[in-house]
Amino acid sequence: MSVQQLFGATRPPAQLLLRGAHALDPRSDLDGPADVLVRDGAIAEISAAGALAVPDGVETLDAEGLHLFPAFFDPHVHLRTPGQEHKETIASGTAAAAAGGYCGVVAMPNTSPTLDDASQLRAVREQAEREARVPVGFMPAITRGLVGGELTEMAELRDAGALGFTDDGRPVVAAGMLRRALQYQRLCGGVIALHEEDPSLSGHGVMHEGAVSARLGMAGIPSISESTMVARDAAIAAYEQARVHFQHLSCVESVEALAAWKAAGARVSGEASPHHLTLTDETVRSLDSRFKMNPPLRTEADRQALIAGLRDGTIECVATDHAPHARHEKEVPFEEAPMGVTGLETAFPVIVVERMTAGAALLDLPTPRVAVGEPANLTLVDLGESWEVGARGYASKSGNSCFEGRTLRGVVRLTLAAGAVAHRVEVGVGAAA
């Protein structure tokens, strides 16, 4: 790829021997105890556990009893920079990513101002190069100001390093506008990622429309608000032979529409979030605004459809839609609270490996792998240890996790991103044996 698309602070390349961890990477056919040698930030050797000698200048980590995975990649996070740094900064958001075992994240453009021109993209790139702990990619807006009126200068943005385009947080309401963006994609490339929602169906909805919203007297967002737009836009994508990715799918009907259009040959893909895969609208009975996000948590049948879609490949990857909000913004009545929950620090123990790395391929980026010659994008996890979410705070600036208070199994001990140590929990590493 000629244009650089991921941007992070330059950090000293790791020199590490990870000894005895159970290495697991289906793409490299790895599933067993191994020694993995990282030299100058790249994976230099993989061999049977205990077989490798320690070269000079290399630190050894006794990782027996821990699990080693290719580090994860998240195609959908909100770093809130510029404009809402009280919620998150590039530094804190990427620290949260590293703490969650991620080696790369993609930032959404609904910042203030909107990321919709090349000069702004260059400014956030530079900021990422100063402070990002793991590399960050950027997806600028499809339409200026996210209002659906006119296209951004997509070709210039691509030349400036845009991975793709999204109006995330809002749908592209007019079918004609989306069609034009998809036509223009043929000129400049870059995936078009869509937040699917029909505003006339969502109305003032704040949660899933169903028995729970009826009980609570809160306006509902029906499943068809999302699924009709997925079906519409997949049809347009097929017609234009364009590359379209559907963000944060939440309901049965959307998974069915995606599967049908894939079977028909459309170049469409989908993602699901850890919270939609694990929680339902029943949690909203608590009236706790940490369970408020868009799209909303839906029913058990929807949750099961997402899991099935992830298993059979209809949905390509897990994406957190990490959406930090300050405590005071969430400590209000449910209907008043902003949409969104954090996710980077809890995704892995919630979901476990499967499709945690697949987000990179959606954006034509290399998938992190545990293989000789690959850059060291590795995460070392203690699956034997449990932790209470939030008990020791967060690396993210915001604590609006919908998993707060839950006990999750699996602690990320070490993250190597782009060959450098991005996260390391000193206590416990090497002491697990």
**Nearest one of 50, 200, 77 to 135, comparing CA atoms:** 77
Q: Is 215 in the site for another protein (CB under 8 A)?
A: yes
By beta-carbon proximity to another protein, the closer residue of 110 and 143 is: 110
Distance of alpha carbon 166 from alpha carbon 132, whole angstroms:
22
By beta-carbon proximity to another protein, the closer residue of 73 and 334 is: 334
Q: Which of 114, 120, 143, 213 binds another protein (CB under 8 A)?
A: 213
Q: Is 265 in the site for another protein (CB under 8 A)?
A: no
Q: Which of 214, 264, 301, 433 binds another protein (CB under 8 A)?
A: 214
Strands 16-25 and 102-107: unpaired
User: CB-based contacts of 228: which residues, under 8 Å, 6+ apart?
Assistant: 198, 201
| Residue 116: active-site member | no
| Distance in Å, CB of 217 to another protein, minimum | 3
Q: Is 212 in the site for another protein (CB under 8 A)?
A: yes
Q: Which of 176, 217, 265, 393 binds another protein (CB under 8 A)?
A: 217
Cis peptide before 70 (omega within 30 of 0): no
Q: Which stretch binds another protein (CB under 8 A): 53-61, 186-194, 214-222, 391-399?
A: 214-222
Strands 59-62 and 16-25: parallel
Residues 25, 321, 364, 382: which is the catalytic one?
Answer: 321
Helix (H, G, I), strand (E, B) or coil at 395: coil
Distance of alpha carbon 199 from alpha carbon 207, whole angstroms:
14
Q: Is 3 in the site for another protein (CB under 8 A)?
A: no
Strands 102-107 and 136-138: parallel
Task: List binders of another protein among 365-394 (CB under 8 A).
Answer: none
Alpha helix positions (H), 132-174? 154-159
The amino acid present at 377, given as its one-letter code, is N
Q: Is 59 in the site for another protein (CB under 8 A)?
A: no
Count of residues of this chain found to bind another protein when the rule CB under 8 A is applied: 21
Alpha helix positions (H), 206-358? 211-216, 223-240, 252-263, 274-278, 300-312, 327-330, 347-351
| Distance in Å, CB of 226 to another protein, minimum | 16
| Distance in Å, CB of 405 to another protein, minimum | 14
Per-position x/- string for 317-336, each x denoting binding to another protein as judged by CB under 8 A, each - no binding: -----------x--xxxxxx
| Distance in Å, CB of 290 to another protein, minimum | 12
Q: Is 211 in the site for another protein (CB under 8 A)?
A: yes
Contact 390, 401 (CB under 8 A): yes
Burial class (CB in 10 A: 0-12, 13-18, 19+), 238: middle
Q: Is 209 in the site for another protein (CB under 8 A)?
A: yes
Q: Is 311 in the site for another protein (CB under 8 A)?
A: no
Q: Where along the sequence are the contacts to another protein (CB under 8 A)?
A: 209-218, 220, 222, 287, 328, 331-337
Task: Tell me the catalytic residues.
Answer: 321
